[in-house]
Amino acid sequence: MNLYLALLFAILFEVTGTMLLPLTKEFSKLIPTSLVIIFYSLSFYLLSVAVSKLPLSIVYASWAGLGVFSVAILSYLFYKQPLNLPTIIGLFFIVIGVVLVNVFKTD
């Protein structure tokens, strides 16, 4: 499996699990809770695949940074959570940081 594809899916599964967390109603709802556990498990499995050959610092920076960025944007869209200008600027700094870490990585 392509390691960057594994990382991409790890990010997607982590973001999906995080977006489902409010629907669990503090883990009292069986189906959303089960889905969160499944998505997080898949995310961690694919994360372990990615770190088998890619540097941990690159993988974790990408996973965490793009996860935070995605959850913030999706929370705005789906849960109507506000985003102010400093937050938007901070989110773009996260993306810039992830890009810089990946562009200037040492193999």
Per-residue pLDDT tens digits for 41-50: 999 999 999 9
CA nearest neighbour of 7 among 104, 106, 101:
101
Contact 33, 58 (CB under 8 A): no
Torsion of CA 45, 91, 75, 12, to 10 degrees: -20
Gap between the Cα atoms of 93 and 33, Å rounded? 32
Contact 67, 46 (CB under 8 A): no
Q: What is the pLDDT of residue 104?
A: 86
The residue range of the domain holding 10 is 3-103
Gap between the Cα atoms of 27 and 14, Å rounded? 17
The model's pTM is 0.91
Contact 49, 1 (CB under 8 A): yes
The pLDDT confidence band at residue 107, using thresholds 50, 70 and 90, is low
Number of domains in the chain: 1
Gap between the Cα atoms of 99 and 84, Å rounded? 23
